[in-house]
Structure 1
């Protein structure tokens, strides 16, 4: 059965032929046989073609996957919501029906495009570094001035609102 990426049977890639004949091809430094030398050259070219097909197939898969991704970039001072996963909450503080996103909190530092330090309140007692997958941009309602209310975490230990 042929592989979708290479278009060939894996056995024929490894052994250069279908399973009825098995050859162990090794590069011999001082090979005097012209037929063996030609066979090794053909096999080397064959493997390079397979390698190129696999790279082209992987590039296509990457292009398809990247078309669905959106780059999220934030700057220090931006207000964001953070998703606190179960592992970040204290024992017994997680509820299936509780809040998932907390905030808004300002970003205090950018580590790289994938990690940011968020200025969380001390009640959260967790690391302030978040992956971009757990950060969501805060969009204020109706162009009003946004103020941070420290009382918004009163329900933290009770599982949310």
Structure 2
């Protein structure tokens, strides 16, 4: 009898019936473990896919971008600042999960965004879409 299963790899042509039985038992154990792992991974994937939605955009589409406070100009962030900015056009598609957005220069951030931070823009009814860039200056008054 081998001391460990690794000893079998060293001696592949063994005549002992006990060793062959141990090899068969270990092979069956490994196949069962692989099957259980595949089943649990499939279960986890199904649970994750329930909340997942596919978002596909094309170059030229107008989108609203979620910017975290790290990406806004210094001194312009407060808790009450809006989180989504836009609409901005999509410049190009890197893959289904990343897009390059045509942001104004005042946003000191990368122009590449994950699809989780991009939302499709729906203009209000009876309104022309205006592509002027919104200023993020903190000097604007709150009066309208």
TM-score bracket relative to the smaller structure:
0.7 to 0.9
Deviations along 1:8-34, whole A, 9 cap, x unmatched?
A: xxxxxxxxxxxxxxx732323242321
Shift of 1:128: 1.1
Q: Which runs of at least 4 in structure 1 moved beyond 4 Å after TM superposition? A: none
Q: Which moved more, 1:29-38 or 1:64-73?
A: 29-38
Task: Note the C-alpha offset of 1:86.
Answer: 2.4
Contact (CA 8 Å) 1:94, 1:159: kept in 2 or not?
no
**Superposition TM-score, scaled by structure 1 size:** 0.75
Q: Could you list the runs of 5+ residues in structure 2 that have no partner in the other structure?
A: none
Aligned-residue offset at 1:133: 0.7
| 2:76 counterpart of 1:76 | no
Aligned counterpart for 2:42 among listed residues 52, 56, 59: 59
* Aligned-residue offset at 1:159: 8.8
Structure 1: where are the runs of 5+ without partners? Answer: 1-22
Does structure 1 residue 93 correspond to structure 2 residue 73?
no
Aligned to 1:157: 137
- How high is the TM-score relative to the length of structure 2? 0.83
1:135 to 105, 109, 118: 118
The size of the alignment, in residue pairs, is 136
